[in-house]
Amino acid sequence: MKEALSTDEVLVFYGRISDFQDEQCLSVLSKEEIIRADQYLLPLDKQRYIISRAILKHLLSRFSGVNEQEILLASGKNGKPFWSNPFEIRFNLSHAGDGLVIGLSLEKEVGIDMERLDRIPNIPALETFLFTPSELELFHNLDPSLKQETFITAWTRKEAVLKASGEGLTKAMNELDVAFIKEKNFLMGKTAWFLESFTLMENYRGAVAGECQTKIVQYRSMNELNLQFNPAKG
Ligand SMILES: CC(C)(COP(=O)(O)OP(=O)(O)OC[C@H]1O[C@@H](n2cnc3c(N)ncnc32)[C@H](O)[C@@H]1OP(=O)(O)O)[C@@H](O)C(=O)NCCC(=O)NCCS
């Protein structure tokens, strides 16, 4: 029986790649996905792709009632993966280190990003790439002890918005004034958006966004899904 997903919510599933086994995931991947997996040079990248694709397809199956093997994903705007489906389920995923997050929504596109807090970015080299001039002024006035975490939070907020629109990093981050907005709902031009930051796992920060307002974001651990490719759950 399929699980319900409503138009006023976004579900965010989070977990660790190392909690799953890639051999058991291969059965739900398409031929094209297996070819792509084989193109990764590093075994860890390959494993991450296989596991994240399999969990994504499991979730799409769970909320649509369609068998995982019948779910064929395509590549859309700037490579954003999508699934053409009558239920209008939309999704986006992000991986960083061992962490994986997947956002699911109905009808409206969703964007999600997560980064590690312990990977120290080269802030002087990147700050004008990330911040608008007014954000940069606020950033420069911060206590130095807050700068690294603030930088990563701002990065994930902007990337989540750009992943929702599908633009990804083809659009300039320093033209997007969303780093320090306090409200979850706001207008960008004439368009209504929601954007929420999250900390779901130690050492990781992320954000989820979409082109619509008043979305309730529900966070669920992947370990509660009782996946067949999660050895700990049998
Ligand atoms: C999307 C993008 C921001 C991802 O950045 P990242 O921080 O390295 O990676 P994340 O883990 O957060 O996200 C990767 C996932 O986002 C999804 N994704 C890919 N392109 C996307 C896009 N344009 N919009 C939204 N999501 C996208 C994919 O599911 C991808 O995972 P997968 O490759 O395992 O399927 C970046 O790849 C980008 O800007 N792409 C668009 C530009 C482009 O096409 N570049 C190609 C090289 S020139």
| Probe target for ligand 1 pocket from 105, 110, 169, 204, with the most ligand atoms within 8 Å of CB | 169
DSSP 193-234: EEEEEE--STTEEEEEEESSS-PEEEEEEGGGG--TT-GGG-
Task: Return the residue whose CA atom lies nearest to atom 22 of ligand 1.
Answer: 80
Query: Any idea how long the chain is?
Result: 234
Task: Return the residue whose CA atom lies nearest to atom 21 of ligand 1.
Answer: 80
pTM of the model: 0.95
Residue 168 Cα, ligand 1 centroid: separation in angstroms? 6
Closest ligand 1 atom to Cα of 48: 34
> How many CA atoms, within 13 angstroms, populate the side-chain half-sphere of residue 129?
11
Quick check: 233 and 123 in contact, CB under 8 A? no
Q: Please, which residues have CB within 8 angstroms of residue 126's CB and are 6 or more apart in sequence?
A: 151
User: How many other C-beta atoms lie within 10 A of the C-beta of residue 62?
Assistant: 17
Closest ligand 1 atom to Cα of 111: 25
Residue 20 Cα, ligand 1 centroid: separation in angstroms? 22
Q: Tens-digit pLDDT profile for the chain (234 aa)?
A: 789 999 999 999 999 999 998 888 888 999 999 999 999 999 999 999 999 999 999 999 999 999 999 999 999 889 999 999 999 999 999 999 999 999 999 999 999 999 999 988 999 999 999 999 999 999 999 999 999 999 999 999 999 999 999 999 888 999 999 999 999 999 998 999 999 999 999 999 999 999 988 899 999 999 998 877 655 443
Phi, psi of 77, rounded to the nearest 5 degrees = -50, 125
